[in-house]
Amino acid sequence: MASMRDIKRRIKSVNSTQQITKAMYLVASSKLTRARNRLNDTRPFFNETRKAIADILSGSKGIKHPLLERREVKSSAVIVLAGDRGLCGGYNVNVSKAALERANASKDAKIISVGSKAREYFKARNKSIVDSYTGVSEKPSYETASKIAGKALELFLSGEADEVYLAYTEFISTLTSEPKVIKILPVDVDEFKSDNAAAKSHALTIYEPNEEAVLNYVIPKYVNTVIFGALVESSVCELGARMTAMDSATENASEMIDYLNLMYNRARQGAITQEITEIVSGSGIYD
């Protein structure tokens, strides 16, 4: 059995850790509320952009655009959205594994990593990282999303990537999230069929100078918005995962402190009993 001094030192150490995990839980909880509000704020712009694209596609037949063109897949690019810090359960590993599975399906996969954890994960596996962004996972901005989208569009239009995928974490609830991989380029026209009913009323809209020019402006904005929405959603998931992990760590620390206190009391009781026994045994010598 460990000595009382060692047990007391461990209690003090676990108690200090518990204070840290409790503070991190409170911080993550506070940030999560703001992040969820921001997620709700991004959706209207995304929906309006989808409606604009659906409007053009429903009112035009045989429209052609480079970002809608499907071609033989020789190489692909995967944008991976992970965190810059750990202590959030399996959040970083789960989305990185999903992205790796998608990357392994292509002979020549290029990685655009967002978050230091994603960069470290794919660097350790010798994957080609063509672009990397750090320090944005908890506070994503539309400017960063535009840069990421710009790189993705450059890879696709130059022919370096025939498909572009986005790996992020989908928010389900505060306690539940799951990694998701979606294709963002080429833009799938079929995805907008559900929006066509709402767009039929605008079928007579005239676009200047033409539909292709409007799509040339709208589709990149749509890609920007998809990536920005995924960045915001991933940040919500990261904060939720960190909050859950820190809450669990705090509870585990409490259980460990209770156990160590029990061990300390047993050791203390054992020491007292031993002292009493020695005193009683010593007093019998002089009888």
Asked if residue 222 belongs to a domain, the reply is yes
Instruction: Kindly name the residue from 24, 80, 88, 112 that is annotated as catalytic.
Output: 88
CATH code of residue 125: 3.40.1380.10
Q: Is residue 35 domain-shared with residue 99, that is, in the same domain?
A: yes
Domain count, the chain: 2
Rounded CA separation 44/72 (Å) = 34
Listed in order, strand segments (DSSP E) in the chain are: 75-81, 108-114, 128-133, 163-171, 177-185
Three-state secondary structure call for residue 77: strand
Please list, in sequence order, all residues whose beta carbon lies within 8 angstroms of the beta carbon of residue 272, skipping any fewer than 6 positions away. Answer: none
In the DSSP assignment, the letter for residue 283 is H
Q: Is residue 145 domain-shared with residue 269, that is, in the same domain?
A: no
Q: Is residue 170 domain-shared with residue 263, that is, in the same domain?
A: no
Asked if residue 119 belongs to a domain, the reply is yes
Cα 5 to the chain's mean position, in Å?
Answer: 43
Asked if residue 286 belongs to a domain, the reply is no
Is this model's pTM higher than 0.75 or not?
Answer: yes
pLDDT in tens, the chain (287 residues): 578 889 899 999 999 999 999 999 999 999 998 888 888 888 777 777 777 777 776 666 667 778 888 888 889 999 999 999 999 999 999 999 999 999 999 888 999 999 999 999 999 999 999 999 999 988 899 999 999 999 999 999 999 999 999 999 999 888 889 999 999 999 877 776 655 555 454 455 666 677 777 778 888 888 998 999 999 999 999 999 999 999 999 999 999 999 999 999 988 888 888 888 878 877 655 44
Confirm whether 237 is a catalytic residue: no
Rounded CA separation 191/202 (Å) = 18
> What range does the domain containing 253 cover?
4-25+245-280
Count other Cβ atoms within 10 Å, centred on residue 262.
11
Count CA atoms within 13 Å of residue 235 on its CB side.
24
Q: Is residue 115 domain-shared with residue 255, that is, in the same domain?
A: no
Q: Is residue 14 domain-shared with residue 44, that is, in the same domain?
A: no
Q: Is residue 223 domain-shared with residue 270, that is, in the same domain?
A: no
Q: Provide the token pair at 274.
A: 């031993």
Q: Is residue 61 domain-shared with residue 50, that is, in the same domain?
A: yes
Q: Is residue 252 domain-shared with residue 113, that is, in the same domain?
A: no
